[in-house]
A and B are shown apart, each in its own frame.
Chain A
Amino acid sequence: MPAAAADLAALVGKPAPDLVARDISGENVRISEHRGEVVVVSFWSGSCNTCRDQLEALDRIAKTYKSAGLVVIGVNLDDNLARAEKFARAQDVQFPLLVSTPRNTGRDYGVDRLPMVVFVDRAGVLRVAHREFKSRDEETYVRELRTLLDE
């Protein structure tokens, strides 16, 4: 198992690392502020095409389950800020897309490929992590998120 994959596996079941960054509208967003809600953190980059599909799928899920306490946050891991901002502005999503993220974010979450998504439960524990994205994954996301929302 690659080091990052092992890191990610070790994170599941543990409190999610805190993360604070500015979104494209200039507002600061902190993950730990959403304790009590189910948080989906999607890691993306301006050069990743599949990330766009994943963000669209997460936007659909967010719209459906927002009232049940679901929060989705997109986190950029692209070093090229201009490209990341351009990518973020092109997305038609309702949730915050954090652009200028701290350098240690990817390492903290054991990100080794993009897109990657993690689900954090209402107690702030990282419960699920998925690498890459295929269209049929949306169904899996919904099933898993419904379980977390029901807890």
Chain B
Amino acid sequence: MPKPTKFAHVVAWLAFAVLSTQAVAQEPPAQPAGAEESAPADATISDAPVGTLLSEPVDGAEAPPPESGEPPADTRALDETVQDLKKDVVDLNRELFVLEEELLFPANTQVAIFVSMDIGEFFALDSLTLKIDNKEVANYLYTPREAEALLKGGVHRVYLGNLKVGEHELVAFFSGKGPNERDYKRGANLKFEKGVGAKYLELKITDRQRRAQPEFAIKDWE
């Protein structure tokens, strides 16, 4: 059998292309007007006007109702599953955090120390050193952003640890800029009784307007 020439191939391909185009033009819409997914099966890129998505109807087919921009149902279901999973992870993370805190710092030995600031006209906090029973337990440098957050009413937990039941002493050293931008370092101390429950102490920095000086106090939250 003689081999078909290149020319024969081209002619056959052209004939097929012409017949296909006619078939598309004559074929009625596959589904009634307004039905979804009305794009003919034979639609090709060349059939569609520029800028038209292939899933949209071409010649002869009526446009489907305008889409609301919602993704297909299976994508929505997948999104919901992912969101549920994310929520589960967040919940689990929170539970683990609480569990970790309960294990590391049980309520009967827990001591938490917070820092708060009021006004701050006479003192700009730079750093804080904490000693409990003469042992340094925390040393914290405050960035301008953190100091600003304190001035806006934020409360910072600077230390979380464990202590035995009994009497203890807390000493706090504050350093920063005092009145007239001078380096300022002050201390405050408190003897407190640690009971069987958790102990919360607050280091309060306030302004004493009458003396134009900052004031440092430690408050024991019973």
Contacts and interface: CB of A to CB of B under 8 A. Distances in A.
Interface in A24-74: 27-30, 33
Interface class of chain B by DSSP: mixed
Contacts of A20: 141, 143
B143 A33 contact: yes
A143 B146 CA distance: 33
B59 interface: no
A22 interface: yes
Nearest to B139: A102
A21 interface: yes
A22 B142 CA distance: 10
A25 to B, nearest CB: 11
Contacts of A28: 126-127, 141-144
Nearest to B140: A20
Contacts of B141: 20-22, 28, 30
A33 B127 CA distance: 16
B145 interface: yes
Contacts, number: 19
Contacts of B146: 30, 33
A33 B146 CA distance: 9
A10 to B, nearest CB: 23
Contacts of A22: 141
A33 B148 CA distance: 13
Contacts of A21: 141
Nearest to A22: B141
Interface in B101-149: 126-127, 141-146
B141 to A, nearest CB: 4
A128 B127 CA distance: 32
Nearest to A26: B126
Nearest to A29: B143
A101 to B, nearest CB: 11
A27 B124 CA distance: 12
Chain B CB count within 10 A is highest, among A20, A28, A29, A33, for: A28
Interface in B50-105: none
Given A20-B141, A28-B127, A30-B141, 11 more contacts: A20-B143, A27-B143, A27-B144, A28-B126, A28-B141, A28-B142, A28-B143, A28-B144, A29-B143, A33-B145, A33-B146
8 closest Cβ pairs, A-B complex = A28-B141, A28-B143, A20-B141, A30-B143, A33-B143, A33-B145, A28-B142, A27-B144
Interface of B: 126-127, 141-146
19 contacts: A20-B141, A20-B143, A21-B141, A22-B141, A27-B143, A27-B144, A28-B126, A28-B127, A28-B141, A28-B142, A28-B143, A28-B144, A29-B143, A30-B141, A30-B143, A30-B146, A33-B143, A33-B145, A33-B146
